[in-house]
Amino acid sequence: MADEATAQDAPIDPVALRRAFGTFVTGVTILTTCEADGTPRGMTANSFTSVSLDPPLLLVCVAKSASSYATFTAANCFAVNILHEGQVDVSAIFASKSPDKFKSVNHDRVHTGAPVLTDSLTWFDCSLTSSVDAGDHAILIGQVRAFGTSPTAPLGFCRGRYASVKDPLPAGWLASHGMIIGYLIEAGDGLLLCSDGKGGWVLPSARRRKADRELMLDGGDALRLVPEETFLFSVFDVADSDPGYLVYRARLAGEGAQISLPDTLRFFPVEDLPYDAIATHELRSMLRRYVQERQAGRFGIYMDSDDGGRVAMIDGQARAWLQASQDQGQ
């Protein structure tokens, strides 16, 4: 009995325990909230889990040693922002003591007022329902008031380092909220298409709607674009259960230079697009309209509707809005 009691009372090595906890593969989140004067605060954390669907609850853990501990435990709301594989730099910024953590990220306020990182893989905007003291941490339980997600690869973390998550999107899975952001990317007489992995072709898709000089595709590749030639082209649904499409027209920068593309991306001559290998009727119809309008040199914007949709044609060359507004004021 004495030997058993001695074994039970043996002290736990906190360093070894931390390493053991670290073998559990997690995602990486940025917890955000606001101080009483509205100043945004944020920190990197991987202690996060879902709790309940009805009501919609989740929990996060905040270390008492964290500089933002007092702010999070005093706030009545917070947001959990799960990072995607391209946001290692964001994780590092929010793990630092930088006074301008929010300067380099796009953020907005959705429901509770907590800052939401709009480029993250998934975000949850929550009101605080309870706080539980738990050793050297506080457990914050929040009720989800709004959320958003995207079909991109998550940033993993294991054994104190970032980890890659292979093939995170099962076949047939689509985001249940939001839109698929597709791009008609031109270069010379070609149009860029992306392999769907099943012998077909789809539009390249992006993580975020706004693309300036560089477009980050879902696969992680970056393409340089001519920002003055990026315009909305089409908005439509495929099925009631699937997200809709938001399609932009863009042109690749440096078309005269040698372009190195991964095997999943390929330029097709506009006159010879593989319509038979395009998965949906809606995408085929959209591509045929694009080809016709490109040949005519006159583009329109298509909006889906119950009566078959409508197209508004755009006349004239693109100009910067500032210059156009100055010309109108003269």
Residue 203: phi, psi to the nearest 5?
-75, 145
Percentage with pLDDT > 70 across the chain: 78
Please give the CATH architecture assigned to the domain spanning 179-312. Answer: Alpha-Beta Complex (3.90)
More confident residue, 111 or 322: 111
Confidence check: pLDDT of 328 > 70: no
Confidence check: pLDDT of 186 > 60: yes
Confidence check: pLDDT of 174 > 80: no
Confidence check: pLDDT of 258 > 70: no
* Distance between CA atoms of residues 218 and 207, nearest Å: 6
Determine the average pLDDT of the residues in 122-150: 90
Q: What is the pLDDT at residue 256? A: 45
Long-range contacts: 203-207, Cβ < 8 Å, 24+? 203/245, 203/247, 203/283, 204/265, 205/180, 205/181, 206/181, 206/182, 207/84, 207/86, 207/119, 207/150, 207/152, 207/181
Class of domain 25-158: mainly beta
Confidence of residue 153 (pLDDT cuts 50, 70, 90): confident
Q: Which of 168, 238, 171, 217 is nearest to 198 (CA)?
A: 171
- Count the alpha carbons within 13 Å of 36 in the hemisphere toward its beta carbon: 3
The domain ranges of the chain are 25-158, 179-312
pTM for this structure? 0.53
Q: Is the peptide bond before 55 cis (omega within 30 degrees of 0)?
A: yes
Q: What is the DSSP string of 34-56?
A: E-TTS-EEEEEE--EEEEEETTE
Q: Please report which residue ranges of 178-317 form alpha helices under DSSP H.
A: 281-296
Confidence check: pLDDT of 121 > 60: yes
Percentage with pLDDT > 90 across the chain: 25
* Distance between CA atoms of residues 60 and 80, nearest Å: 8
Determine the average pLDDT of the residues in 257-269: 78
